Amino acid sequence: TIPANSILGLQIQLYGTPKKIMRVSRGSFVPMPKVDSTVIQIKTLPKKLQTKNPEKILKIAKTAFSQKRKKLSNTLKPILSTLKLLKLEDLRPEHLSIKDWDKLINLIK
């Protein structure tokens, strides 16, 4: 699977299932970038398998990802008690699963 280590990665996993198709060498591009690329295929999840509140997850996730490499306890201070309840306060946003994000938003009013 493709990790949700960014807002884009999280969006992809909220709405679909990503699959790596092939690697594209940096030499395939002009000018040549410093990194290789990957072609992915995204199969849209049926509505019944999608999380119920992707917009709420993305709203909170944008704040959580806004300060790269910061723990959730630093970026989401207004909901620190909820983070502690779920034992997520010492994690970084890229370490949360879709289930963790779902649990978090379900406890927030």
* CA 63/CA 75 separation, integer angstroms: 7
3-state helix, strand, coil in the chain (%, to 5): 50, 15, 35
CA distances from 18 to 40, 43, 51, 96, 107 (A): 6, 6, 16, 17, 28
Segment 26-65, tens digit of pLDDT:
999 999 999 999 999 999 999 888 888 899 999 999 999 9
Neighbours of 17 (CB within 10 A): 14
Side-chain-side CA neighbours of 107 within 13 Å: the count stands at 16
The model's pTM:
0.79
